[in-house]
Amino acid sequence: MINTSMEDIGHWQFFKEFDPKQFVGFVYKITYIPTGKSYIGKKFFWSSIRKIVKNKKNRKKIIKESDWKKYTGSSKALNEDIDKFGKENFKFDIISLHECKSTLAWGETKQLVMNDALRAKLLDGTKKYYNGIVCGIKYIVKEESELEKQFKT
């Protein structure tokens, strides 16, 4: 995947030119190239705060660009590996762009489930994904039992 845009998108790669102003955020995948271990997440292009304005009843909404161009995920283990092995050993891919918060949240969840991010293993038996949380819930995922496998569709 390459980005052909004149717009600076930091270390991220995407297959098509895009304008971040048209979107709320993106779903991404960060991969440690030597092993293929990955992290799936979402990131907002914009952040907003409500600021108190003197002599006004309502607060003023201030929207500014987030740190998305430099962002390296929210996983502590992932960021430790980036520090340890160097950013150049990781691939930063944008999977999808989203115009609203709900499709962004769904897009991330869909990718986590489709990739079985909580259970998938690499060939050496280690976890394939840094992820341990889906929709803000931390799961302790056990292997499927033989009985569960028999009744799986």
- Determine what percent of the chain is predicted with pLDDT higher than 90: 67
Q: What share of the chain is helix, strand, coil (3-state, %, to 5)?
A: 25, 30, 50
Give the integer Cα–Cα distance in Å for 50 and 129. Answer: 36
pLDDT digit string, tens, across residues 20-44: 999 999 999 999 999 999 999 999 9
pLDDT digit string, tens, across residues 118-135: 889 999 999 999 998 776
pTM here is 0.82
